[in-house]
Amino acid sequence: MILGVGIDIESIQRLKRVREGVRRRIIDRILTEKEKRYCLGKIDPYPHIVARFCAKEAFVKALGVGDTWSISFKDVEILGHPPRILTRGKAKKILEEMGAKKVHVSLSHTSDYATAIVVIET
């Protein structure tokens, strides 16, 4: 049974246009160390960074907790190829309370936009 579905889309150029110091703080706030290593190892890391941000936003929407600031970005980690979501902290606790057994994520990007969809099921 599907418990929740979330989707998000963001402009990649929006992150690229931010001043370098601010951009670095944004990346440090939303990505775990493993995610940073993966993304920053790419020739163009920005589509990968923004796709992970989208996945985290879509995950919170799928949880149905109301606002995306109620869960730390670092409590949701997107790793692997194909991507999978790992949770900890409050994100993990909410999934357990929902009775969730599976979390599916799909990422996609072009040169301009990144998107992600998350499906949570029993």
Pairing of strands 76-79, 2-11: unpaired
Cis (ω within 30 of 0) for the bond into 45? no
Q: Which helix (H) or strand (E) element contains residue 53?
A: helix 46-63
- Say what the pLDDT of residue 70 is: 75
Q: Mean pLDDT score of the chain, rounded to an integer?
A: 93
Known active-site residue 109 = yes
Known active-site residue 48 = no
The maximal CA–CA distance of the chain, rounded, in angstroms, is: 44
- Say what the pLDDT of residue 69 is: 61
Q: What is the CATH number of domain 2-121?
A: 3.90.470.20
Nearest to 35 by CA among 95, 90, 107, 91: 107
- Say what the pLDDT of residue 68 is: 55
- Say what the pLDDT of residue 113 is: 98
Alpha-carbon distance of 73 to 83, in angstroms, equals 16
Whether residue 105 has pLDDT greater than 90: yes
Q: What size, in residues, is the chain?
A: 122
Task: Give this prediction's pTM.
Answer: 0.93
- pLDDT tens per residue, range 4-48: 999 999 999 999 898 988 989 999 999 999 999 999 999 999 999
Q: Quick one: DSSP state of residue 112? A: S
Alpha-carbon distance of 122 to 114, in angstroms, equals 27
Catalytic residue among 61, 74, 81, 102: 61
R_g over Cα of the chain: 14
User: Where residue 121 falls among pLDDT bands split at 50, 70, 90?
Assistant: very high
- Say what the pLDDT of residue 67 is: 58
